[in-house]
Amino acid sequence: MKWTDSSAIARELTKKYPDIDPRQVRFTQLRGLVLELENFDDMPEHCGEKILEAIQEKWITGADEDDDE
């Protein structure tokens, strides 16, 4: 996965960290969580605020959908 794969990253974050509320995660923490994902293979310096916003938004949306079930 690369930084631009926000949906795939969000799914992996949900699987790996089911007890974390993505609304409470700071961008610096989110960056670290993404870098720890097993299938993540991109350069840390290719990450920016807009990318982290997209990942967090997808993660929140996915978490909200899970809550509705």
Is residue 21 within a helix (H) or strand (E), and if so which, with residue range? none
Per-residue pLDDT of the chain (69 residues; tens, 9 = 90+): 999 999 999 999 999 999 999 999 999 999 999 999 999 999 999 999 999 999 999 999 985 565 444
Return the pLDDT at 62. Answer: 86
pTM, two decimals, is 0.88
Q: Look at the block and give the residue holding tokens 């967090």.
A: 56
Q: Are 37 and 12 in contact (CB under 8 A)?
A: yes
Cα–Cα distances in Å, from 13 out to 33, 57?
A: 8, 12
For 39, residues 6+ apart whose C-beta sits below 8 A from its C-beta are: 1, 12
Return the pLDDT at 65. Answer: 62
Return the pLDDT at 27. Answer: 97
Residue 19, both tokens: 């007890």
Q: Look at the block and give the residue holding tokens 């605020």.
A: 49
